[in-house]
Structure 1
């Protein structure tokens, strides 16, 4: 890597991120059924119908995985808890084995002097709650608050930071409008409700955690740089709308108590009754904001119903996902979030990384592309810091190759290679390079 710790401010934190369903193995420990189990069991939804029943078996291997984090000179581990592991039906009876697991997880991190950064929800809604309407149902805010209370009464005294929901855009738009993720809906009315209720649940959970006396609470949103596909006014309008529902909607709700007008032109008629009255809860005070950033999109107009736009393939080098590599977008969002929304709150890059077609050869994985990707994006972070943005940490996605949702197990984001037949872990060149760069 072309940097060291000395290139960042004193106390700047480096970490790695994962999520429960992608690595733990959901088929044991008393975990209940989730919408992802249902989605994966439906033909055509997931590559090769792959699922998360075993995943990386982190449930049984977490201690060795944390040893790799510690040996890699990282400071923070960002993980998520599984709602269905803790409360199998989503409401009601608690699974003691699930709570005990997260208790052990947090203690194991602290024993290794790693900071536990908890996220309460990373997309695996319990199936019974989906049956009851899921994110379309306003009651989900209360259900989520109850779940938050159960989890954080157990581990909230020891986690270093906590955030309610990972990437609200994916929870609401990707899953209810585009249908690419569970529950796989393509319904504008469902989308409008999910876009609002996910924020209501966020604010409710922040309130619950404040009531428990917890500190260092934040929000984690994802961002994609939206550029017009050409110089036309139509393309500029299309890109602004994409930017509105992807990048502005959730921050605007949290920090300004309003939604972007250009997005409400489409979603407004489908919003739940009384949505305007919820911003007092949605705007619950947070202590930091996490930005997840991977790529940019070129957006142009298309004929058809709202939002009447589509993506155009861009000219930049791309990752294994087909995503353009554009570090300048990360710098842009760090600066804009600070200037327009957070006004001095600490910012963290809560996810950043790339899928790469990594191959294990003679016991090693030479992922030079990932090294270059990280270098480029950390250079963008340094430029933002130099411009006065209070960026306090960077977490790589991901610690290890894992279940990449509807794409199954073929897209590799990890700095540790996982053989999905044997589950053998092999640190890649990027892991070794980062270990050297972060040496104290």
Structure 2
């Protein structure tokens, strides 16, 4: 697909369709319509936007990633700094979610804030997250809470992070403490965010250059030195093979701990999954699926109430490797092909592999052109609808992300947000694409004609 004036016009048409669907009297009336179930999606369907603690809260100084952002050399282009100041402005963020007519907010607990030193838990920070959860409920938003979204306390990383046998017990202790304080009012929970990410990166069309791996090693070595340790490992910056067994064990134990605090709380795990499509004879697609998702899908099947799917594009795989996007394809700021339909394939695959209901916990596109996002959202929701029409139970669609936030190695350059954030004043500005998404949600989804598209 080439991005052109035709596509911009299509985005405008989608906006008009969505606006007509809600008959736009007031935002409150629109949100009320979503609750009636009169649209094509079920009344219980979750329409949400997502954030993650380290990426929006700011000044997460006790975390492993904060240290990695500041050592030299570092793979990180810039520091997360003040984030989007959401630690202070969370009420404003919730008000925006509500104003759009959405009914769900996904956010994460920041382990490094709650347990900044091993065994020392902060009642102040537990109270903070309790207020956020209550704030969701007060606004009619279902709190979808991730117990760990990549970042961990610095002390945990300096002990070897997820690469050592003691990691599951330490993570479970944190989850148990947090769940006993918070779980009563959480709507849905996930233990870990994209624990398979590093294995996914091994299947990128263009492998990382050796110099990047050397810099990562030097960065981790310096972080270890500053902690007075001989090791340092972070969930999204370490040895994927060494992390696999401890992460799966930690997930399983965390599910049990969360369920112990609230047996009725649905618990899952969110996996990074691309729409893997075979090209030619002897495609290695199934090999990728075994390596990147297989053991995690098995763990989800054994322990979870639902499976979280996080999808941004498709991956074309021939007999030897993953291929670059097709010639002439439009790509995002992250170099991924613009392909909103990918979410249908990953929903179908995750459900077939686990037998579980699916929650789209992340889906979006990195672009400075909001017209692209405005077109992406209806196309992606149509793809979700097709999966549902095909018999897959889908609990909800949560867009990544609510805000233009910190995107790890890439800093603040990629723009995934429904809402722009001024880096100096932290002023939030709702983008047109957010209004389109909110109107679709308020209408209860797309019509059958739009779903067939």
Task: Return the TM-score normalized by structure 2.
Answer: 0.79
Within a 5 Å distance, the mapping from 1:51-200 to structure 2 comes to 51-89=79-117, 91-170=118-197, 174=201, 183=233, 190-200=239-249
Within a 5 Å distance, the mapping from 1:226-241 to structure 2 comes to 226-228=276-278, 231-233=280-282, 236-237=283-284, 239-241=285-287
1:432 equivalent in alignment to 2:435: yes
Match of 2:42 in 1: 9
Indicate if the aligned counterparts of 2:271 and 2:309 stay in contact, CA closer than 8 A.
yes
The C-alpha deviation readout for 1:4-24, integer Å capped at 9, x for no partner, is 661312321100111000000
Match of 1:323 in 2: 336
1:245 equivalent in alignment to 2:245: no
The C-alpha deviation readout for 1:357-416, integer Å capped at 9, x for no partner, is 15xxxxxxxx11101111111111111111111112100001110001000001110000
SS of the residue corresponding to residue 325 of structure 1 reads: coil
> In the superposition, relative to structure 1, how do residues 186 and 47 fare at CA in structure 2: closer, same or farther (>3 Å)?
closer
Match of 2:380 in 1: 377
SS of the residue corresponding to residue 132 of structure 2 reads: helix
2:67 to 38, 54, 60: 38
The C-alpha deviation readout for 1:322-367, integer Å capped at 9, x for no partner, is 111223332122122222322xx32111110111115xxxxxxxx1
1:340 equivalent in alignment to 2:353: yes
Give the Cα separation in 2 of the matches to 1:122 and 1:152: 16
Indicate if the aligned counterparts of 1:318 and 1:324 stay in contact, CA closer than 8 A.
yes
Indicate if the aligned counterparts of 1:45 and 1:406 stay in contact, CA closer than 8 A.
no
Give the Cα separation in 1 of the matches to 2:237 and 2:150: 18
Give the Cα separation in 1 of the matches to 2:149 and 2:289: 22
Match of 1:207 in 2: 256
1:297 equivalent in alignment to 2:324: no
Indicate if the aligned counterparts of 1:287 and 1:346 stay in contact, CA closer than 8 A.
yes
> In the superposition, relative to structure 1, how do residues 357 and 187 fare at CA in structure 2: closer, same or farther (>3 Å)?
closer
> In the superposition, relative to structure 1, how do residues 185 and 340 fare at CA in structure 2: closer, same or farther (>3 Å)?
closer
Q: How big is the shift at 1:174?
A: 4.7
The C-alpha deviation readout for 1:224-249, integer Å capped at 9, x for no partner, is 12335x5253xx13x33223222333
The C-alpha deviation readout for 1:260-285, integer Å capped at 9, x for no partner, is xxxxxxxxxxxxxxxxxxxxxxx33x
> In the superposition, relative to structure 1, how do residues 51 and 335 fare at CA in structure 2: closer, same or farther (>3 Å)?
same
Give the Cα separation in 1 of the matches to 2:104 and 2:189: 12
Indicate if the aligned counterparts of 2:418 and 2:433 stay in contact, CA closer than 8 A.
yes
Match of 2:394 in 1: 391
SS of the residue corresponding to residue 152 of structure 1 reads: helix
1:416 equivalent in alignment to 2:445: no
Q: How big is the shift at 1:126?
A: 1.2
Q: How big is the shift at 1:253?
A: 3.5
Q: How big is the shift at 1:128?
A: 1.1
1:351 equivalent in alignment to 2:362: yes
Match of 1:363 in 2: none
Task: Return the TM-score normalized by structure 1.
Answer: 0.81
Q: How big is the shift at 1:208?
A: 0.5
Give the Cα separation in 2 of the matches to 1:186 and 1:58: 22
Listed as ranges, the gaps of 5+ residues in structure 1 are 256-282, 303-308, 359-366
SS of the residue corresponding to residue 312 of structure 1 reads: coil
Q: How big is the shift at 1:143?
A: 0.5
Q: How big is the shift at 1:43?
A: 3.9
Q: How big is the shift at 1:218?
A: 1.5
Within a 5 Å distance, the mapping from 1:219-230 to structure 2 comes to 219-228=269-278
